[in-house]
Chain A
Amino acid sequence: MVQRELVEKRRWLTREQFVEEWAVAQVMPGPNVVNLSLMIGGRYFGLRGALSALAGILAAPLVVVLLLAIFYGSVADTNWAQGALRGMGMVSAGLIAATGIKLMAALGKNAMGLRACICLAALTFVAIAWLRWPLAWVLLGLGGASFAWAYRCLGREDLPGPGSP
Chain B
Amino acid sequence: MMPIAVNWWDLFTHFASLSLLAVGGAITTAPDMHRFLVDERGWLSDAQFTSSIALSQAAPGPNVLFIALMGWQLGINAAGGTSAGAAAWWTGLLGVTVCMVATLLPSSVLTYSATRWAHRNQHKRSVRAFKQGMAPVVIALLLATGWLLAAPAVPAGSRTQFEIPALLDPFLWSTWLTLQPLTAWLLTIVATIVVWRTRLHMLWLLGIGAALGVVGWV
**What is the interface of chain A, defined by CB distance below 8 A to chain B?**
1, 4, 8, 19-20, 22-35, 38-39, 42-43, 47, 50, 54, 57-58, 60-62, 64-66, 68-69, 72-73, 76, 79-80, 82-104, 106-107, 110-112, 116-118, 120-125, 128-136, 138-139, 142-143, 146-151, 154-155, 158
Contacts and interface: CB of A to CB of B under 8 A. Distances in A.
Contact of A146 (B106, B128, B137, B188): B137
A93 B146 contact: yes
B134 A26 contact: yes
A80 B149 contact: no
Chain B interface size, under 10 / 10 to 19 / 20 to 34 / 35 or more: 35 or more
Interface in B54-82: 54-65, 68-69, 72-73, 82
- Of A38, A80, A142, A149, chain B has the most CB atoms within 10 Å of the CB of A38
Given A62-B68, A149-B133, A100 B58 contact: no
Given A94-B190, A100-B143, A128-B144, A120 B24 contact: no
A116 B133 CA distance: 10
A30 B107 contact: yes
A144 to B, nearest CB: 9
Interface in B164-184: 166-167, 170-171, 184
B121 interface: no
A132 B161 contact: yes
18 contacts: A30-B106, A35-B115, A42-B112, A58-B62, A65-B55, A83-B216, A86-B184, A90-B218, A91-B191, A92-B149, A94-B192, A97-B142, A97-B146, A98-B196, A110-B132, A125-B143, A139-B137, A155-B125
B142 to A, nearest CB: 3
A91 B209 contact: yes
B7 interface: no
B84 interface: no
Contacts of A149: 133
Interface of B: 19-26, 28, 51-52, 54-65, 68-69, 72-73, 82, 96, 100, 103-104, 106-108, 110-112, 114-116, 118-119, 125-126, 128-150, 159-163, 166-167, 170-171, 184-185, 187-196, 199, 202, 205-206, 208-218
A38 B111 CA distance: 8
A30 B110 contact: yes
B213 A83 contact: yes
B95 to A, nearest CB: 11
Give me the 3 closest cross-chain CB pairs, A-B, nearest first.
A61-B61, A30-B107, A87-B213
A141 B212 CA distance: 41
Given A25-B111, A28-B114, A91-B187, A147 B130 contact: yes
Given A129-B144, A139-B24, A35 B64 contact: no
Contacts of A155: 125
Nearest to B210: A84
Given A31-B104, A65-B55, A91 B19 contact: no
